[in-house]
A and B are shown apart, each in its own frame.
Chain A
């Protein structure tokens, strides 16, 4: 099934590419060394933007495959990082299989199943699989860590894909890809804005034990920037009123901040800096989707409750 693309989506996607070209030119000036972290980071951004553009413009199946792949890579990275029990190999295999199933519910637009499959069925079934294997040593830890991973990497991230299939008939200028683009853009730009404001004005650490680089100034600057962007972009991509655009911007900024911190706490607990090396300059895929694990479900329910 083809995705409905509205003119604003095409224009704003073009704007993202233009922004990327400008950013690349700036980075080439700022960092002359060909393998500097900033240059690697921008190279990875090209890959991310290219894949997202393809996923959002091609068709629904391509989009679901893309978001399913992101969930798979994120879950794989998470399971690689945490200690797992040898006895649970088959349980982990079942956990991976929940990804195509979860995205299938989205494909057939079965909201009821989409929203309970992982929180209810996988939550109950995976411990059953563990019990049938019979290893009790470390049971709570294994069941708890596995479910945390499924909730964050599969359940939460899959809300991005469900935005694509929300029925849009009542809002002619709004499309699924538009809502996804809005969420992705604001989440990622919020990360960038918090980073930039922090570098520029950062004085007071906001969470010294979890992420020493985060500052109150960076956080506030990020929230203000994201709210402004939200008000600016909402009329083109969403059905939001001005009030709701303000709220959505604030929600994404605050949720993104805590998603980032939540993954920082996980990495600190495990004693690692980057979650992997899939995206040179960024670290692993978890370092990139951390904010999304919070913004995707919260933005989805905000939008669905108020408009769909």
Chain B
């Protein structure tokens, strides 16, 4: 109960005012965002702010049903960080690396989606170089195959790697953009899904 209250307060009093004033994210194609779960929201990943921006972009009523998939290795380090990440933000810890089967690594993500949640997922697996789309990992294809009915909503984020890049703690204000693309679905073709994802996350902007 308390962590959920904290989550609401954290987003209402800290994240949203900060994003509005210090960053200023201009969302284009907002009407293409999912209105209910289950849905998989995928984005390019350059900054710790990415997940917060994506959660804050959704209607407030979805706050308690939206969970970012995040690196267990990074976020489950230390008691307080673990508590804050899992209880307050509500991340789904994912143990990246190691070449283990998808079912083992992403099982919890699949379960969260099957339970009707919205999951924020970064198919690159990690924060890459600022403003570059890294190589997408195959996890996203496995998830799409497992849950062919769940819509995949691609969001291309631009500028957050300038505001708070990897390896820095001091945010510097810049305006940012988020382009919400047309929802994608699993249609039985791995290559096609990957190409569509790369196009909406790193190709020419969707207006």
Contacts and interface: CB of A to CB of B under 8 A. Distances in A.
B38 interface: no
Nearest to B161: A86
B174 A93 contact: no
Q: A interface, how many residues as a size bin?
A: 10 to 19
Contacts of B165: 86, 89
A277 interface: yes
B183 interface: no
Interface in A105-145: none
B161 to A, nearest CB: 10
Interface in A236-281: 276-278
A80 B170 contact: no
B159 interface: yes
A79 B159 CA distance: 12
A89 B47 CA distance: 15
Given A86-B165, A277-B26, A278-B24, A76 B170 contact: no
Contacts of B173: 72, 76, 79, 96
B175 A93 contact: no
Nearest to A277: B26
A80 B165 CA distance: 15
Interface in A63-83: 72-73, 76-77, 79-80
A80 B159 contact: yes
A89 B172 contact: yes
B168 A76 contact: no
B151 interface: no
Nearest to B23: A76
Given A89-B168, A90-B170, A96-B173, A76 B24 contact: yes
Given A76-B173, A276-B175, A278-B175, 15 more contacts: A73-B24, A76-B24, A76-B174, A77-B175, A80-B159, A80-B162, A80-B175, A84-B162, A89-B165, A89-B170, A89-B172, A90-B170, A92-B172, A93-B170, A277-B26
Interface of B: 24, 26, 130, 159, 162, 165, 168, 170, 172-175
Nearest 3 interchain pairs by C-beta: A80-B175, A80-B174, A76-B173
